[in-house]
Amino acid sequence: MVISPDGKYAYVIHKEKSSVSIIRISDNSVIKEIFIGKGCAVYSMSITPDKEYIHVFAHRLDSRKNVQEERVVVIRTSDNKVKIIKIPKQYLRRNYPPSPPPVLTPDGNYLYSTYYTYRGGLNYDIVPAVDIIRTSDNQLVDRIYTRGQPKEMLISPDGKRVYVNYGEETAVVGISCTYPINTVVNTISMKGKPFALASTSDGKHLYVANHDTNTISVVRTSDNTVVGQTFALNTPIALALTPDGKHLYVAHRESNEISVIRTSDNSIITTIDVGGISSDIAITPDGKYAYVVKPYNNTVAVVRISDNKIVNEVSVGGGPISIAITPDGKYAYVSNYKSSTVSLISTSINKTIHEFPVDRPLGRIAITPDGKYAYVAGYDEVVVIQTSDNSRVKEIDVSYPLDVAITPDGKYAYVNRREDYLSQIVVISIPDNTIVDQFLLPGKTGQIIAGLDGKYIYVAGYGANKIFIVKSVSSS
């Protein structure tokens, strides 16, 4: 039971009735009965430090004690006006592991709720997080990952901090949920599920691989309009443009061939049988060779662009996924998922000259414009490699990263990590390698690239059939 600040009313919860009674103390009469929801059990009630609001928490469980529905009743004590917030099902906290009840900011604008997702792979690890939900429209505005399972959450009296206790440590989370720089400023609707992206050297056009419709779309970036389309082979998975922008090389996940598209008329001029399905492709800065990653062959095929002939086959680690070539064209870095390594290829002799460990690098590699660092998306971290001696200089804690893009000025790395129904973009400052921002995008996403003018980041949103255009922090 809670008493109003003026002492006129008592607020009493009824677990059996799934309701809250407001009792006028002067005559002990019930002036209002608030029904929370059928089958909802009230488990907590509290009053905000400023005494302006009462928060009542209730949930409905299934036979296995999993949360099926969760509601928060907000009662303004000045006039007993009621607002019921129903948490969307996809944001519900999981019953296993046991999780604490959510907390609401004093003004009722944001709800903090624990969330657990199950990351795939070898062990199906549990990944704990705290969701921040904007109550005005019940939209998830941020997801903050914690180092352990949250056991208790408390909000500061001024409403500016949330304290998350997860056993050995307590994390402090700021209430601010808006990011003025990294915001989605536009979207481009696609007739398919966009996955891979490539930009022309002048930044005027963006090529998009839609892997469900087997098409390549051409987007004019000046007005974000789709101006062309080409049908490709099965499931285009990666794109690479020649430096002169005249040809686009397309890797396919379900074909042993790669396609070569002439960009002047968007026609396929040839296909090249590389002897296995491909997962990524990169072109040397001089435009003479294309390096094609073949995950099931544990090799990288070298294609001479002048005549589109395979001139070499380089053995790398097990299950190669991604490739990136240094700006001087001397080396290629290849991430190998099965062998948990990164292979270093000397392009002058087309041989692997070094291999170093990175735990299950499922994602892509990006190299800074000055060629000093390679950012590798590992399984639980982004590993920063110093290319001068190939030493690991930093491991940045980012759970399940899948793609990395670096801004043209080399100041920021954008990392795409995804799970369940949404994606999170993590922004890393270079060279101090600290996380400076993170923001959410709806649905699953594919590759991420930085616009050559440094103003925008493009993200392939194949879950939403859209390209997301994000204002880059470099543009500030």
- The DSSP line for 112-180 is EEEEEEE--SSS--EEEEEEEEETTTTEEEEEEE-SS---EEEE-TTSSEEEEE-SS-EEEEES----S
pLDDT of residue 411: 94
Question: Which is higher by pLDDT, 158 or 459?
Answer: 459
- The one-letter amino acid code at 251 reads A
Read off the pLDDT band of 119 (50, 70, 90): very low
Whether 364 shows a pLDDT value over 80: the answer reads yes
Residue-wise pLDDT for 176-205, tens only, equals 433 334 567 889 999 889 999 999 988 899
Read off the pLDDT band of 40 (50, 70, 90): confident
pLDDT of residue 345: 98
Whether 216 shows a pLDDT value over 90: the answer reads yes
pLDDT of residue 315: 98
Question: Which is higher by pLDDT, 336 or 82?
Answer: 336
pLDDT of residue 78: 85
Question: Which is higher by pLDDT, 315 or 82?
Answer: 315
pTM for the full predicted model: 0.71
Please state, in angstroms and rounded to a whole number, the distance separating the CA atoms of residues 102 and 115: 10
Residue-wise pLDDT for 131-190, tens only, equals 777 777 766 777 776 656 667 777 776 777 777 776 655 555 444 433 334 567 889 999
- Residue range 398-412: average pLDDT? 91
Helix (H) or strand (E) holding 320: strand 320-325
Residue-wise pLDDT for 53-107, tens only, equals 888 878 777 776 666 777 778 888 888 888 887 766 655 555 444 567 777 787 7
pLDDT of residue 88: 63
Closest alpha carbon to 272 in 290, 284, 285, 288: 290
Residue-wise pLDDT for 263-282, tens only, equals 999 999 999 999 999 999 99
Max mean pLDDT among 270-279, 392-401, 449-458 falls in 270-279
With pLDDT > 70 as the criterion, what percentage of the chain qualifies? 85
Structure tokens at 7: 């002492």
Closest alpha carbon to 283 in 343, 198, 195: 198
With pLDDT > 90 as the criterion, what percentage of the chain qualifies? 47
Structure tokens at 196: 């891979």
CB contact at 8 A, 261 and 270: no
Please state, in angstroms and rounded to a whole number, the distance separating the CA atoms of residues 95 and 68: 10
pLDDT of residue 302: 98
Mean residue pLDDT of the chain comes to 84
